[in-house]
Amino acid sequence: MSTQQTAAHPPSARGYLFALAGTAFWSSTGVLIRYLSTEHALPSLVLAFWRDLFAATTMALGLFLFGRRRALWDHRRHLRFLLAYGFVLAAFNALWTTSVALNGAAVGTVLAYSAPAFTALAGWRLFGERVGPVKIVALVLSILGCVAVSGAYDPAAWAIAPLGIAVGLLSGLGFSAYSLMGKASSRRGLEAWSVTCWGFAFAAVFLLLFQVPLGQINDLFWLGTSLHGWSVLLLLALVPTIGGYGLYTVSMKYLPAGTANLISTLEPPMTALIAYLLLQEQMTGVQIVGGLLILTGVVLVRVG
């Protein structure tokens, strides 16, 4: 790339655009999952399995059609890393769905969004990323904003068992681990879309194995002949999953893992907006303030 091109399109600017676009796609996940869970009572791990399988299959077809099959095939040399990547992604999905089941949506979301703190600290230790005062303030603002947007400021929401809190914090750690694996893949020089495809493929395998000891293997075809249900599940795989995870992985080629993870905290206010437009869910004044806190955190990181 020439010097003029680099000046016109600085890598950090592209990174922020990719991260914001990925988060925008990602934010529709909750609405689609809520629909499948309430209207079709689809078990969480079954939903996660089909979502990952559809995503991996679609991405593999896309890479083959657009002449990227060699990049996909060449990554076999990194099989152990890709297996670890898929396991981390599967564990995060499993932990997050379990956390929501144990804690409820509000507390589960807040505990999962402890990820920016985990990622910033791990990025500092593993990759030597700087954690300055601006990023620390931004992290605090984002976490407080997530609390407000999710409604977890209500003390009654925190009347949960210690197991639920532990699983919730582990889901945040799982999200952080996924972010750091994406950063590690970019440092290895791996092509982002190919890595994401392999990650979802192996995640689907691991999610299938997770269901065997839980006795949910017989629920794989829960949706039966419901064409509408399968269509929504496919939409979930194509739009928020491929668009969200793929662009988020690409963004980490240009941004520190902690910064990309912090931008992803825009998901709650974006989800609230989509829910308002599609489901007529109203935002309270506290939730609006929370969204502003998250936006302030992102702006602080961008300025810093």
State the pLDDT at residue 53: 93
Read off the pLDDT of each residue in 113-133 and give the average, rounded to a whole number: 66
Question: Does residue 64 or residue 201 have the better pLDDT?
Answer: 201
Ordered by start, the domain boundaries in the chain are: 22-303
**3-state SS record for the chain:** CCHHHHHHCCHHHHHHHHHHHHHHHHCCHHHHHHHHHHHCCCCHHHHHHHHHHHHHHHHHHHHHHCCCHHHHHHHHHHHHHHHHHHHHHHHHHHHHHHHHHHHCHHHHHHHHCCHHHHHHHHHHHHHCCCCCHHHHHHHHHHHHHHHHHHCCCCHHHHCCCHHHHHHHHHHHHHHHHHHHHHHHHHHCCCCHHHHHHHHHHHHHHHHHHHHHHHCCHHHCCCCCCCHHHHHHHHHHHHHHHHHHHHHHHHHCCCCCHHHHHHHHHHHHHHHHHHHHHHHCCCCCHHHHHHHHHHHHHHHHHHHC
Read off the pLDDT of each residue in 278-298 and give the average, rounded to a whole number: 73
Say yes or no to pLDDT of 233 above 80: yes
Read off the pLDDT of each residue in 82-91 and give the average, rounded to a whole number: 92
Q: Tens digits of per-residue pLDDT, 204-214?
A: 999 999 887 77
Q: Predicted confidence band at 5 (pLDDT cuts at 50, 70, 90)? A: very low
State the pLDDT at residue 301: 62
